Amino acid sequence: MYAQLVETGAQRVRGTDELEGQERVFQERIDAGVKIEPKDWMPEGYRKTLVRQISQHAHSEIVGQLPEGNWITRAPTLKRKAILLAKVQDEAGHGLYLYSAAETLGVSRDALIAQLHAGKAKYSSIFNYPTLTWADIGAIGWLVDGSAIINQIPLCRCSYGPYARAMVRVCKEESFHQRQGYDLLLALCNGTPEQKAMAQDALNRWWWPALMMFGPSDADSVNSAQSTQWGIKLFSNDALRQKMVDQTVPQAEYLGLTIPDPDLKWNEERGHYDFGAIDWDEFFNVIKGNGPCNRERLATRVQAYEDGEWFREGLNAHADKQAARGAAAA
Ligand code: BYC
């Protein structure tokens, strides 16, 4: 049984032995690795946590199209353009599977989107940074999708069936995304000195925000203890962040790029890289809505939604007509 008195600096939850009635039966199922399905009984907190996390995840996929979509018309070759188009379309698909997974918990997609547009819902901090050069598209694939894979592979085994199943396909696609980003940077790093400098500049700007994607340190994570007990989180924020650093440093070396962290050093004893302090003020400032692009991102999403009104109306009118025909024929 892995879920005993789970505790972080910010949260302490009751272990299975301290629970009673339905809550205990539910926790025992989780401890035994049984998947929870939409019609099963679940504590209200479990449902709310999943709606929060899955909807934030869905919003991240949708808003996450913007920084890269910005470069589709400026991709340097037809091949790169086709790859980028496919990637951005994949992100839209991920958003749709995830909204569908959230809907199995009794909340509508419209309600979740309304929360996003009202500025009440979070989405990943990373998408509030600008994409200034073509190399940023490589850095996003390599570092952002790379971090996303590390965070999301364990989610394929999380306790909630619809979320776990949605993540399987998402992870397969993220793997292609990470690869295309690395390939793009490899081409730049093997190119002219100016192209290599552009790749280094992108790494300098994306490295720290990519590490922040994993969320606050374990000591400050308010949701980790409970999410771990419920089998939603299988590894802590800090453990996944460490994995990302350990995995990425040799990849940077292969590119011939320098990670912008003077404190980065292999620690023989720990068997991991030590790395410098993260600027948590910057992170909390971004998630409060004050990052470089928060306002622009939200305004773009709201505008896109309003521009699509005629299309939704058309679809609904068609659906109503079909339903009326069906009723008349019955
Ligand atoms: N950005 O207690 P904690 C992608 C919030 S999409 C913003 O550790 P939790 C991709 C957190 O929500 C990437 N907010 O929370 C797409 C909480 O606030 P609330 C998205 C963050 O939930 C397109 C508070 O801080 N991936 O990869 O246990 C193109 C305290 O945190 C962030 C997912 O959504 C952040 N970075 O852990 C390319 C994965 N970090 O809600 C790529 C699924 C924390 O209490 N999500 N916060 O008000 C998760 O695994 C977890 O929700 C997190 C946070 C690890 C992110």
pLDDT at 9: 60
Ligand 1 centroid to Cα of residue 39, in Å, is 26
Other CB atoms within 10 Å distance of the CB of residue 164: 19
pLDDT tens per residue across span 298-312: 999 999 999 999 999
Rounded Cα distance, 232 and 238, in Å: 16
In this prediction, residue 14 carries a pLDDT of 82
Residue located nearest, by CA, to atom 49 of ligand 1: 53
Tell me, in angstroms, the distance from the centre of ligand 1 to residue 320's CA: 38
At 271, phi and psi to the nearest 5? 75, 25
Q: How far is Cα 300 from Cα 63, in angstroms, rounded to an integer?
A: 9
Contact residues for 24 (Cβ-Cβ < 8 A; gap 6+): 16
Q: Which pLDDT tens digit goes with each residue over 133-148?
A: 999 999 999 999 999 9
Which amino acid residue places its CA nearest to atom 9 of ligand 1? Answer: 223
Helix, strand, or coil here: 11?
A: strand
pLDDT given at position 20: 85
Tell me which residue of 174, 155, 175, 176 sits closest to 166, measured CA to CA: 155
List pLDDT tens digits, range 186-219.
999 999 999 999 999 999 999 999 999 999 999 9
Ligand 1 centroid – CA 288 distance (Å): 13
- Residue 330: predicted pLDDT: 81
Q: Where does the pLDDT of residue 13 fall: very low under 50, low under 70, confident under 90, or very high at 90 and above?
A: confident
pLDDT of residue 186: 98
Q: For residue 4, give every residue at least 6 positions away whose Cβ sits within 8 Å of its Cβ, in sequence order, or none.
A: 15, 16, 17
**In this model, does residue 29 exceed pLDDT 60?**
yes
Q: State both tokens at 112.
A: 């979740």
| Atom 16 (ligand 1) nearest CA | 61
Task: Output the furthest CA–CA distance in the chain (Å, rounded).
Answer: 75
CA angle 124, 72, 119 (to 5 degrees): 30
CA of 18 to the centre of ligand 1 (A): 29
Atom of ligand 1 nearest to the CA of 87: 29
Q: What is the mean pLDDT of the chain?
A: 95
pTM (2 decimals)? Answer: 0.94
User: How many whole angstroms separate alpha carbon 230 and alpha carbon 227?
Assistant: 5
Ligand 1 atom 31, closest CA: 221
Q: Which atom of ligand 1 approaches the CA of 177 most closely?
A: 38
Residue 56 alpha carbon to ligand 1 centre in Å: 7
Answer whether 234's CB lies under 8 Å from 290's CB. Answer: no
C-alpha 167 to ligand 1 mean position (Å): 15
Ligand 1 neighbours by CB, cut-off 6 Å: 52-53, 56-57, 60-61, 64, 91, 122, 124-125, 144-145, 148, 151, 212-216, 221-224, 227, 233, 237, 287
Q: Which pLDDT band holds residue 18 (cuts at 50, 70, 90)?
A: confident
Distance of CA 57 from the midpoint of ligand 1 (Å)? 7
Residue 11: pLDDT band by 50, 70, 90 thresholds? Answer: low
User: What pLDDT shows up at residue 17?
Assistant: 81
Atom of ligand 1 nearest to the CA of 49: 22
Other beta carbons within 10 angstroms of residue 292's beta carbon come to: 12
> Which tokens hold the place of 108?
């509508």
The residue nearest atom 43 of ligand 1, judged by CA position, is 57
Question: Helix (H, G, I), strand (E, B), or coil: what is residue 172?
Answer: helix
pLDDT in tens, 234-290: 999 999 999 999 999 999 999 999 999 999 999 999 999 999 999 999 999 999 999
- % residues pLDDT > 70 (the chain): 97
Question: In which residue are the tokens 């989610």 written?
Answer: 155
**What is the per-residue pLDDT for 1?**
40
pLDDT at 68 over 50: yes
**Cβ proximity of 13 and 6 under 8 Å:** yes
Question: Which residue's alpha carbon is nearest to atom 47 within ligand 1?
Answer: 215
| β-pair partners for 265 | 274
Which residue's C-alpha comes closest to atom 34 of ligand 1?
57
- Average confidence (pLDDT) over 73-96: 97
- Judge contact between 88 and 65, C-beta under 8 A: yes
Distance (Å) from CA 268 to ligand 1 centroid: 31
Query: For 107-131, what is each residue's pLDDT tens digit?
Result: 999 999 999 999 999 999 999 999 9
284 alpha carbon to ligand 1 midpoint, in Å? Answer: 12
pLDDT of residue 2: 42
Judge whether residue 8 has pLDDT over 70. Answer: no
